[in-house]
A and B are shown apart, each in its own frame.
Chain A
Amino acid sequence: DIVMTQSPESLAVSLGERATINCKSSQSLLYRANNKKYLAWYQQKPGQPPKLLINWASTRESGVPDRFSGSESGTDFTLTITSLQAEDVAVYYCQQYHSSPRTFGQGTKVEIK
């Protein structure tokens, strides 16, 4: 299985400040046929299912605010929230869909400082 390692486990950020979440995969998530990396980011609020924010490592889903962005370098991936809003308090997960079984990181809890 591909292991996804997220850091930090939790993060407290002041409103309007930047939040950065890291995720590292144990294997390459690059599919050479289309030069895409098969990595997604999800946001989960209490009592709700995960919500897909970013696909293909850096493509925002429709309706996702542009303060959310994804980037990558090799097997390292980053989710950045440029100006944290109160409604962004949640747990964030990375997930690879390059290989079966699809695997998630352990999650990063984002709170307001």
Chain B
Amino acid sequence: QITLKESGPTLVKPTQTLTLTCTFSGFSLSTSGVSVSWIRQPPGKAPECLALIYWDDDKRYSPSLKSRLTITKDTSRNQVVLTMTNMDPVDTATYYCAHSGTVRNAFDIWGQGTMVTVSS
């Protein structure tokens, strides 16, 4: 059974850096084709893909946020970490990590998400 769980701060101040960790089980991020993505969803709005990391360490970023994002993986610890710099109140959202089992596939399993509020 595949599970993912997000962890990190619930409140960050403007200009601070957000670090979120996705801890997963039930699959290996060293298996060919597998990827983990970070997706955020502001309250009442549609989800937005932020970043994706593949089993071979290939990475994809949202073009509009690329300068602020870094995604890394620790295969031995079954974790994927997302950092987002220079946080702003508009970044207030629920942040999810999600699994895809093959290259260029939908997000078949999602974590429960973690709500992050950006406020001074």
Contact = CB atoms under 8 A, between A and B. Distances in A.
Contacts of B63: 1, 101
7 contacts: A1-B63, A38-B104, A52-B106, A100-B60, A104-B46, A104-B47, A106-B46
Contacts of B49: 101-104
Main secondary structure of the interface of B (DSSP, over half): loop
B27 to A, nearest CB: 15
Interface string B22-53: 00000000000000010000000111110010
Contact of A61 (B100, B108, B113): B108
Interface residues of B, number: 23
Contacts of B98: 49
Contacts of B113: 49
Size category of the binding interface on chain A? 20 to 34
Contacts of A50: 47, 107, 110
A49 B46 contact: no
Contact of B52 (A40, A51, A100, A106): A100
Contact of B111 (A49, A95, A98): A49
A61 to B, nearest CB: 7
Contacts of B86: none
A93 B26 CA distance: 26
A-B pairs with lowest CB-CB distance, top 4: A40-B106, A49-B110, A100-B60, A102-B49
